[in-house]
Chains A and B, each alone.
Chain A
């Protein structure tokens, strides 16, 4: 009896050890991806590819699903498993999945993530594949974020740029004829709205990305990638931050909620309680769902006001299609991207959602021109500031996200706040000056 028990105990141990010991050895088999986009053998062989989309699940996702329907009609033997992943979690989630070989075949990667994923060897190079079809047609700035180490690792799905969005009726009520074009005009206009229209003139989202127009406008930048220099605490950048803080202190901009600023900004803007916000084209579909913009013509779009340099600087954002290097269905993934990113389909998204196409030919199509928003953004894109494509690009905004609110709350002086960001950058960019 005793020996038998003892045996079962040790057997249990063995089994446990065996279970822990078997490390998932990634299955390296599968389709190596045919360079010529060769047609699969006829027959009921269904390939399933998964796509992680990070678009807004209420407003944007349905239109992407429409495109998937069209894709499946055209390629009946490829099934697309669509998953919408919240944008904030997507970067981390993809990296974890990619390490474990469970990543989706196709991913929608933010422009700041693409170089990072590529540097971690997670992405398949796309040059010469169907996914890179008509690569010359892409706008140069959005395409640039897909290049890493001289190779092409993605194609730009959509581009975006921050702009000044305003409620025409409220500005009219306050006697403001034209959208402000400089920071000084912005302040005057916002104060006028506050005094005469019974609404807040402006709301600044306290996120680092939304501070960039102020820093660029004053002639500053976060880093200088060519010289490997950290420039976030230069006098120019500090001046930019001070302009933003002055708007809040003077009452021109409402005191932002430091914990859920973006949502408060959108809620107030949609309700007609805020006259102006700085936001991107992705928010337009959301704006139109609010009562203030039941009449779509009430939404005005203008470039971000220029700073002291006389130039308006707005960061280029957007998303790229990338393919996971460990995908077992490379060919199908390339075909999927080729389809999704055709000029017609980009124009469809532009018409439906106001998303900005990345193909210059898509801007010529009537669908794009029909959208009330997209053509207005077109002028802004060409002047957008392209952020450096370094693997750490995605990290640069985090310290800024942390310190901008502290400068707003008065816990830190502007210079001290940006000095803190600079010391954080030294941890991220180890050998930079």
Chain B
């Protein structure tokens, strides 16, 4: 082993030199916080017992090691909401990713042809993604407001009655999903459009000569041709949606009650709304990481078995 390392070092000195800074920086930026997070999740650290230097007063750390207690509390404690929130997070993730992908694909196919003003459409369709999240969140909050929101105004004038979009459990959850879909579609559309343009036109010509219908062409050329792009954006989409904090936090704050809490927002409110509980926050962080790492492994394996190279 040591001999191999030395040989590799002599042979690729320059490569090692280029890699080491990256490894060190990542170690500092990712590795250390990760280690610290794991460590904290086994303690009872909170705002009252961590080290602090306040003026002349220097207080050392006084938290202690509690083993797996945080994990047991979060997963199996008497009042835990972990499982119900995890279930909601899964529903949220699947519905967001499904619509991101299907709507994004539909728009990409529509735009992947010669039509007048194509670039204008593209810019307009990218807009939701380009606007800062907090701007779109507050805009949607106003649009969906119960008393003066434009949605209810229109529905009321059409005689369809008004709805409390953000005040009712189910509607609020549907609303945040819809907002997230609106924000996320452009990215999927652009990525898929790139994928579409990489599919050779000859394939379509050949299919047309063979008399394939547009539908057949889509299923047998377009869809398989997009496989690599799709695999990547679905993986990214799942991870991003699972951890999407801003929209839910800004639009409903997880409310009404806990009706729109997903794991990340719930962990935030459980750990940071009162006396900040660093240990519980770390525990949630590690649990979320475990869920996503597990998912990524399964996903890769599934792709491998269907012949993708990863």
Contact = CB atoms under 8 A, between A and B. Distances in A.
Interface in B141-195: 141, 145-147, 164, 166-169
A328 B58 CA distance: 15
Contacts of A402: 254-258
B255 A405 contact: yes
B257 A28 contact: no
A26 B276 contact: no
B52 interface: yes
Contacts of B52: 99, 120-121
A406 B147 contact: no
B293 to A, nearest CB: 26
B102 interface: no
A36 interface: no
Given A257-B147, A395-B275, A398-B273, A325 B20 contact: no
Interface in B25-69: 25, 28, 47-48, 52-59
A122 interface: yes
A266 to B, nearest CB: 13
A20 B24 CA distance: 12
A324 B53 CA distance: 12
B79 A423 contact: yes
B274 interface: yes
B21 A13 contact: yes
Contact of A28 (B28, B55, B272, B274): B55
A420 B257 CA distance: 9
A324 B20 CA distance: 44
B17 interface: yes
Contacts of B79: 423-424, 426-427
A257 B275 CA distance: 30
Contacts of A260: 145
Contacts of A426: 78-79
B147 A28 contact: no
Q: Is the interface of A mostly helix, strand, loop or mixed?
A: helix
Contacts of A25: 53
A10 B17 contact: yes
A257 B257 contact: no
Contacts of B86: none
Nearest to A119: B48
B118 interface: no
A28 B25 contact: no
Most-contacted residue by chain B among A9, A20, A392, A420 (CB, 10 A): A9
A411 B256 contact: yes
Contacts of A5: 14, 17
A258 B256 contact: yes
Contacts of B257: 402-403, 405-406, 411-412, 420
Contacts of A412: 257
A347 to B, nearest CB: 34
Interface of A: 2, 5-6, 9-10, 12-13, 16-17, 20, 25-26, 28, 30, 32, 92, 95, 98-99, 101, 116, 119-122, 124, 257-260, 264, 324-328, 391-392, 394-395, 398, 402-403, 405-406, 409, 411-412, 420, 423-424, 426-428
28 contacts: A10-B17, A13-B20, A13-B25, A16-B25, A17-B24, A25-B53, A26-B55, A28-B55, A30-B55, A101-B55, A116-B275, A120-B47, A120-B52, A121-B57, A122-B54, A257-B145, A257-B146, A258-B167, A259-B167, A260-B145, A325-B54, A326-B54, A392-B275, A402-B255, A406-B169, A412-B257, A420-B257, A423-B79
Given A121-B54, A391-B48, 16 more contacts: A6-B13, A9-B17, A9-B18, A10-B21, A12-B21, A28-B56, A98-B54, A101-B55, A119-B48, A120-B48, A395-B274, A402-B258, A405-B256, A406-B256, A409-B164, A411-B257
A-B pairs with lowest CB-CB distance, top 7: A258-B167, A395-B274, A326-B55, A6-B17, A26-B53, A13-B21, A326-B54
